[in-house]
Structure 1
Amino acid sequence: MRISGTDRPGPTLAQLLALIAAGTLDVVVAPCGTGVPVSDVVLHDPGEERDDEVWAATGLVLLAVGVDIASPEAVDVLRSADRAGAAAVVMRRGTRGPRTSLLEAAERGRTALLTRRPGQGWTEVLGRLRTALVHSGPDRSAGAAGVGGLRLGDLPGLANTVADLVGGAITIEDPQSRVLAYSRMDHEPDPMRRLTILGQEVPRWRVVELRESGFFQALWNTDDVVRLPADGRYAERLAVAVRHGSEVLGSIWAAADGRPLAEDAAAALRTAGRAAVPHLSHHRTWGRAAASAREGAVHALLTGSTQAAHELGIARDRPHAVLVAEAHDGRGTAPGDAGQRVLDVLALRAAAYRPGCVTARSGRRLYAVVPAVGGETDPARTLLATVRSVERGMVFAGAGPVVPGPAELPASREAADLVVRVLRERATRLPAAAAGSAVASYEEVVAEAAVLRLLDRVEPLWGAVPGPVHAMMEHDRAHGSLYGDSVAAHLDAFGDTAAAARRLNVHPNTLRYRLRRARELFGVDLDDPAVRLLAEVGLRLGRRTG
């Protein structure tokens, strides 16, 4: 295998090791120290080498795929890498340590010997080292000043900074046209930007349109900015590919945002394309793991973890409220893809709502921790309005009360959960209520929430106190009769037979007959206050189990 080195000065091996996650690699022997410069990191399969082929690996870190540090061929691999001028070679560390002959060969040469710890894949190690290489290399300063001071991997921050430079709206996408980040919206977006952000990807029909027109071919095959003129539907757009060597990491799109793009927008976007390399490279390598860890921290925060609050940068003395959104299929049951898509959109909206708003998913639920500003008592009001506007018939959403600090967030979450339960039970009791997205704050349903708390306490005792309501409910389960539904409708309508009959879609005389039979067969006499109370409790508990 022929591997060419490069004369371009690069960061040192020590700098790369400092940037990657601790515990990924171990230095076994470094005869020249770890201050040696590194030009690139490559996967190296020693099995591809030929004895009669001269190859160079000056300044390279070679990841020796398939070579265990205790294997007999390890010495030959190290010597070959040393002759080629490699900066370092990385081998797999098994259960046994290195052979004495390998350590002696390493100490006599110039190439550092490193090991990959168990549990780390070669692809993961390659990605982390290359990300560190890009972040610490000389190219980093070439555009960093233009987007300066950003934390590595802060794609939303990058999008906002580039938007200021080009005077337009920015969207950062991966090579599959999925949205990674977008800039704040100072003006109403054009229809394509709205569709792209809400769907978290460019619509498929638009991707096909751009592919067939040759736009993507032009974009992926140049380092320059490609222009997409305005037409009757959409504003003018500029796009630039973000690439590391021959690898395309994604693209940055600039759209006119209520005003023409700046005169030097193309030059600014070209600079941004170079500066975005370490950020997209970092996102590719660590983005998913970091997002998962962040979600875990949010879940820990909602159970009272003060350490999680510190990890998420939430101040101890800042008030917050919790919003819970639960997807369903329009009938109050488990959601399909559409319901999950609504949660995805809400997560995006929440992240863009205000600084410090964090979210986490759990099954068909989305949790959002919303900071309060200026003494407001309902910081989630705007997000609740967003739920109403996103999609009808797909979400129950509730906001808990504002609490003074992160330690009290579990109480706000519990209250928000109760709101969602109230809305779900309303939809079960009154199916027409599930026709639209139901939202409420805790203050709006405080009485119903208190009833739910009481029913939670009563439920374990209910089965131990049989009576007329139990007999009626058991008869309905066994025979498919509707006495319980009829009694429940009559109670919900406060004894208004006509209104209860309309709710059940039956004639009032039919309802009167059922109520009379319920009294005759089971003793459910709704003129008796005690029986009415038992019927209300029992039928509400019965709805929980279907």
Structure 2
Amino acid sequence: MLAMETPLLRQLLDALGPSLLRPLPARGEAAVPVSGTVVYERRVPLPPARDAVLLAVGVGTAGDEAEDLVRRAAEAGYACVVIKRFGEPAAELEAVAERAGITLLAADEAVGWHHLDAMISSALATAARPADAASPAVGDLFALANAIAGMVGGATAIEDPHRRILAYSTLPDQPIDQGRRQGILGLQVPDAPAYDEQYAALARSHGVCRFPTHPSGLPRLGIAVRAGSELLGSIWVVDAESDLDAAAEQALRDAADIAALHLLAARTAADVARRHRADLLRRLLATPAGASVVAPQLGLSAGAPVAVAAFLVAPDEPDGAVAAHTAARLADLVGLHCEAHYGRHGCALIDGTVYALLPAGHAGSSHRELVADIARRAHGALRVRVHAGIGSLVGSLHSAATSREDADLVLRALADRPGDPGPCLVATIDEVRASATLAALSQTLSGHARMAQGLGPAISAHDVEHGTTYVGTIRAYLDANSDIPAASARLGVHPNTVRYRLSRAEEIFGFDLADPDERLVLWLQLRLRAAP
């Protein structure tokens, strides 16, 4: 029997990388044995756990709670405590950990605790394998596929939960069938009802599944790859001669443990890359002059025509922490769909609004169709109303900020749209240009002194003081193009009531609605005063 290695903190840190988990303060003393993870819960007594990694969920870096937890963890035998700093200083907590004799680790704030728990568990499982069980470097999925093919004895494919083929083996003299050939060509498992049944069976199982028949011909072994309860993907091995025995099954089970860390690391690398592209898009929209520097990193030419789309959870949805969480999920959803259709050009969450860069080549109706589809999917997944606006197509990345301004104006126009909004509102700048122009005028003229003088403010003040409704009546009349029956229908009153109110307003405030200049200025004052 092969001796099992004792996992060390050094191995854990090497496997996960410094972007995910790093010691505080940074130093090389990582020869600390580690045995597993424990998630901290405030209302549950801290259990003793020799050499475990304590995930300090919800605990900051400052204050008595954090310091007390570090001391108690050291007394209970923990190897280290993992915190998230969120920009806070941690020098005092580091000193407490130093005195207590326990290692303090800082985790990437953007990585969920459940994700981090799964990655640490998989890394420790891999590190604890027999000392002579070689494994490819984390992240090299093609090398891993070849290693599995050699261990198990058949052509191997590694897939994600959506049946996309992430890697496949290339060892010679291992038979494959037509289904595998098609999958490799498109990096996607072909659609077939029989496949649906096999994947469903694999998802239910926690061991190796044998599939004697296969839509493409050759039998297979399959196993789901998991980190805890989370399904990360699957491994499939062709059993061409139907001779893969119990030893092959055991080898495939061992390979699934190793593959979990590889798949988690690959997903984390993708998350890091996505956040980097989001930072680049923020820079581009804030500082258009830097387009030449940012463009190559986004995979675009600085002279490429682009449009910017803006997505927003409807303003009347719940706010606070719930809204922030929903906006983050919306950003993830928009980013994934835009990457699938346009490539990895950037998606960013800025002040609650999700912005996506839409390159030319998909201009016109296809932009709108995709944005509308994303909005519908977001509504279905998040159960909130979503507004989406598409800015003008501009000639280069240097003008991307202009398209972003247009998209923002579209969102303002949609928010001010009367009537039942429905689950999703989507528009291009051309579809709401009049309303968007009014919104832009509101921004431009809101601080102008003359807009705060004259009839509009006087009528509004009178309504507040006397409880009258002259502002609403005049706006309805002007919006209806001086059509009294139409205005009365909007207000839900008799036409004679509208005539009386207009006559009284002219008497009280001394103006003439027949004067086109006076009517225009009054309409602007009343409309812009109510604009969002």
Is the TM value for this pair above 0.5?
yes
Q: Does 1:455 align with 2:442?
A: yes
- Distance in 1, matches of 2:435 and 2:406, equals 12
Task: Sort the Cα spacing of 1:422 and 1:160 in 2 relative to 1 into closer, same or farther, 3 A.
Answer: farther
- State how 1:173-252 maps to structure 2 within 5 Å: 219-224=204-209, 240-243=223-226, 247-252=228-233
Instruction: Quote the residue 2:137 is aligned against.
Output: 136
Instruction: Quote the residue 1:207 is aligned against.
Output: none
Task: Sort the Cα spacing of 1:398 and 1:226 in 2 relative to 1 into closer, same or farther, 3 A.
Answer: farther
Aligned-residue offset at 1:416: 0.8
Task: Sort the Cα spacing of 1:487 and 1:27 in 2 relative to 1 into closer, same or farther, 3 A.
Answer: closer
Aligned-residue offset at 1:449: 2.9
Task: Sort the Cα spacing of 1:118 and 1:517 in 2 relative to 1 into closer, same or farther, 3 A.
Answer: same
Task: Sort the Cα spacing of 1:456 and 1:132 in 2 relative to 1 into closer, same or farther, 3 A.
Answer: farther
Instruction: Provide Cα deviations, 1:434-481, integer angstroms capped at 9, x if missing partner.
Output: 347432222333344333323322111246752222111112233443
- Distance in 2, matches of 1:520 and 1:144, equals 90
- State how 1:306-455 maps to structure 2 within 5 Å: 306=291, 309-328=295-314, 333-334=316-317, 346=334, 348-362=336-350, 365-373=353-361, 376=363, 380-386=367-373, 394-425=385-416, 427=417, 430-431=418-419, 434-435=421-422, 437-455=424-442
Instruction: Provide Cα deviations, 1:331-358, integer angstroms capped at 9, x if missing partner.
Output: x634588996877765554343332353
Aligned-residue offset at 1:399: 0.9
Q: Does 1:17 align with 2:26?
A: no
TM-score between the two structures when normalised by the length of structure 1: 0.58
Instruction: Quote the residue 1:299 is aligned against.
Output: 282
Further displaced range: 504-513 or 365-374 = 365-374
Aligned-residue offset at 1:394: 2.9
User: Counterpart of 2:409 in structure 1: which amino acid?
Assistant: L
Aligned-residue offset at 1:501: 1.8
Task: Sort the Cα spacing of 1:477 and 1:544 in 2 relative to 1 into closer, same or farther, 3 A.
Answer: farther
Structure 2 unmatched ranges of 5 or more? 39-47, 56-70, 78-91, 128-134, 150-157, 169-177, 215-220, 245-251
User: Counterpart of 1:396 in structure 2: which amino acid?
Assistant: H
- Distance in 2, matches of 1:168 and 1:253, equals 18
Q: Secondary structure at the match of 2:464?
A: helix
Task: Sort the Cα spacing of 1:527 and 1:128 in 2 relative to 1 into closer, same or farther, 3 A.
Answer: farther
- Structure 2 contact 141–262 (Cα < 8 Å) conserved: no
Task: Sort the Cα spacing of 1:160 and 1:286 in 2 relative to 1 into closer, same or farther, 3 A.
Answer: closer
The number of aligned residues is 423
- Distance in 2, matches of 1:462 and 1:118, equals 56
Aligned-residue offset at 1:221: 2.8
Instruction: Provide Cα deviations, 1:412-453, integer angstroms capped at 9, x if missing partner.
Output: 11111112212223x1xx335x34743222233334433332
Q: Secondary structure at the match of 1:136?
A: coil
Task: Sort the Cα spacing of 1:530 and 1:284 in 2 relative to 1 into closer, same or farther, 3 A.
Answer: same
Instruction: Quote the residue 1:6 is aligned against.
Output: 4
- Distance in 2, matches of 1:146 and 1:508, equals 82
Q: Secondary structure at the match of 2:513?
A: coil
Further displaced range: 437-446 or 289-298 = 289-298
Q: Secondary structure at the match of 1:540?
A: helix
Aligned-residue offset at 1:528: 1.6
Instruction: Quote the residue 2:164 is aligned against.
Output: 159
Task: Sort the Cα spacing of 1:494 and 1:435 in 2 relative to 1 into closer, same or farther, 3 A.
Answer: farther
- Structure 1 contact 128–285 (Cα < 8 Å) conserved: no
Aligned-residue offset at 1:145: 8.3
- Structure 1 contact 41–126 (Cα < 8 Å) conserved: no
Aligned-residue offset at 1:318: 2.9
Q: Secondary structure at the match of 1:386?
A: helix
Further displaced range: 315-324 or 12-21 = 12-21
Aligned-residue offset at 1:242: 0.8
- Structure 1 contact 154–279 (Cα < 8 Å) conserved: no
- Distance in 1, matches of 2:34 and 2:163, equals 26
User: Counterpart of 2:509 in structure 1: which amino acid?
Assistant: F
User: Counterpart of 2:306 in structure 1: which amino acid?
Assistant: H
Instruction: Provide Cα deviations, 1:75-111, integer angstroms capped at 9, x if missing partner.
Output: xx9xxxxxxxxxxxxxx99559999xxxxxxxxxxxx
- Distance in 2, matches of 1:221 and 1:18, equals 25
- Distance in 2, matches of 1:95 and 1:389, equals 51
Instruction: Quote the residue 1:277 is aligned against.
Output: 260
Instruction: Quote the residue 1:514 is aligned against.
Output: 501
Q: Secondary structure at the match of 1:222?
A: coil
Structure 1 unmatched ranges of 5 or more? 50-61, 78-91, 100-113, 148-152, 170-182, 194-209, 230-237, 255-261
User: Counterpart of 2:35 in structure 1: which amino acid?
Assistant: V
Further displaced range: 115-124 or 401-410 = 115-124
Instruction: Quote the residue 1:491 is aligned against.
Output: 478
Instruction: Quote the residue 1:42 is aligned against.
Output: 35
Instruction: Quote the residue 2:84 is aligned against.
Output: none
Instruction: Provide Cα deviations, 1:481-535, integer angstroms capped at 9, x if missing partner.
Output: 3211111111111111122222222222221112112111223421122321222
Instruction: Quote the residue 2:458 is aligned against.
Output: 471
User: Counterpart of 2:486 in structure 1: which amino acid?
Assistant: A
